[in-house]
Amino acid sequence: MAAVCHGPVLLPGVIDADTGKSIIDGKTVTGFTVEGEVVLKVLDKLTSDRVALVVDAVSKAGADYSSPMHPFDDYSITGRRLITGANPASARSAAERALTAFDELPTAQARDSQ
């Protein structure tokens, strides 16, 4: 599974059938930064609309949030078969990581997932 920018805010709702926990529980993920929201001057609006910030949503689900050095740097993370990217600049590196993760799946598992 892969998500970039604000997409990781959805991951806490993806539940592992075996554990009953979010698939990001105990994993390190990234997504759009609070600093990025400040730079874009949307943090107050998001807060007033009660929109979950990525860092808050993933932390609440038991994940460790990792941010890029600067909010718009290309920054992506692979955690086994979970790939996350911090922002639009990370889309390519996250996609490349997703392809690598898919290529590393055992053949039968790759065939079953089609």
Looking at 6, 70, 96, 104, which residue is catalytic? 6
37 is a catalytic site residue: yes
70 is a catalytic site residue: no
* Residue whose tokens read 């990781």: 8
Looking at 35, 37, 70, 96, which residue is catalytic? 37
Q: The dihedral of CA 85, 3, 39, 64: what is its sign?
A: negative
104 is a catalytic site residue: no
Looking at 5, 35, 70, 96, which residue is catalytic? 5
Instruction: Give catalytic residue positions.
Output: 5-6, 37
